[in-house]
């Protein structure tokens, strides 16, 4: 390699490494703070390493002990989020895939208008649908329940999932559908036998996006949940803002990390498939 190119590459990596350190600095501070005791926090600095691996703050952040109607740990809220996220992601992804397949490969009068309407629904701000959504859940007798939150998250995610799958399937040759129809295959058989097996990349994109969005959602969680159905983001907010006496920053940072871990794990496992899915067709059309 020529010396000038080597110097240029070293400079590029140095700049990227510098910005990576800046980006990761808050995560480092949160992590080391969660491993410190309160005396260490009082006398030390934010960047100092902990004297030892102390997970007491993590245990206290996770503890599900309750006093009256208030819980001082994340455990019950964590499970509520699991119960909300899993069915919401599965249902919205499946409905979105079928919608995208229909709009991309089974062109019919008004299909573009329907797709435009779905896109419009995707860009409607959360705040604009709070009142009608609350009225709808009240009519179904599902207000302040986990099934009610599943409905809200699923419906709101269908538009985005449809957009992803439609833009992925529109790149597939129409001859696939025509040949299958000549052989006597119907709408769902073509979907299950031809399109679903080649949809792993875009399903990965949709699942990671939906999981991250629903798990991190606070607005719908705080508006549509009750005492027994609050998701983990609401639990984190309650834990951080209702502490009494001495402010335990180590417990707060441990709770924040516990809340963030599932989305981090999901992206670590499926991150490369996420990028592959985007480049394979999620941004085409």
pLDDT by residue (tens digit) across 100-128? 998 888 877 887 888 888 878 778 888 88
Could you read off the pLDDT of 193-225 as tens digits, one per residue? 888 888 888 898 899 999 999 999 999 999 999
Say how many C-beta atoms besides its own lie within 10 A of residue 24's C-beta. 11
Residue given tokens 């989020």 in the structure block = 81
> Domain coordinates of the chain in residue numbers?
3-54, 70-282
Listed in sequence order, the residues at least 6 apart from 186 whose beta carbon sits closer than 8 Å to its beta carbon are none
Q: Which tens digit of pLDDT belongs to each residue from 173-189?
A: 878 888 888 888 888 88
Per the listing, tokens 């129409």 go with 174
**Of residues 202, 203, 206, 224, the one with CA closest to residue 84:** 224
Q: State both tokens at 81.
A: 């989020």
Architecture of domain 70-282: Orthogonal Bundle (1.10)
For residues 154 and 161, give the distance between their C-alpha atoms in angstroms, rounded to a whole number.
Answer: 10
Q: The dihedral of CA 248, 249, 254, 255: what is its sign? A: positive
């Amino acid at each position: 390699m020529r010396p000038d190119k080597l110097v240029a590459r070293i400079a590029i990596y140095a700049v990227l490494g510098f910005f990576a350190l800046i980006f990761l600095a808050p995560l480092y501070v949160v992590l080391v703070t969660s491993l410190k005791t309160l005396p260490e926090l009082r006398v030390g600095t934010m960047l100092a390493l902990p004297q030892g691996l102390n997970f007491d703050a993590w245990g206290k952040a996770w503890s599900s002990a309750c006093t009256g109607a208030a819980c001082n740990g994340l455990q019950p809220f964590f499970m509520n989020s699991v119960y909300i996220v899993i069915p919401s992601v599965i249902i919205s992804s499946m409905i979105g895939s079928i919608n995208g397949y229909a709009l991309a490969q089974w062109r019919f009068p008004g299909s573009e208008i329907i797709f435009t309407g779905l896109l419009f629904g995707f860009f409607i701000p959360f705040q604009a649908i709070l009142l009608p959504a609350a009225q709808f859940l009240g009519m179904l007798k599902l207000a302040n329940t986990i099934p009610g939150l599943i409905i809200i998250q699923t419906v709101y995610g269908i538009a985005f999932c449809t957009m992803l799958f439609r833009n992925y399937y529109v790149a597939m040759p129409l001859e696939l559908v025509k040949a299958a129809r000549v052989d006597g295959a119907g709408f769902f058989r073509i979907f299950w036998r031809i399109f679903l097996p080649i949809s792993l990349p875009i399903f990965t994109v949709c699942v990671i996006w939906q999981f991250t969005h629903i798990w991190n959602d606070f607005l719908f969680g705080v508006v549509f949940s009750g005492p027994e159905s609050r998701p983990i983001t609401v639990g984190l907010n309650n834990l951080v803002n209702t502490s009494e006496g001495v402010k335990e920053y180590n417990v707060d940072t441990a709770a924040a990390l516990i809340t963030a871990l599932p989305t981090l794990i999901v992206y670590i496992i499926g991150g490369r498939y996420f990028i592959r899915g985007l480049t394979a067709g999620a941004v085409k059309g």
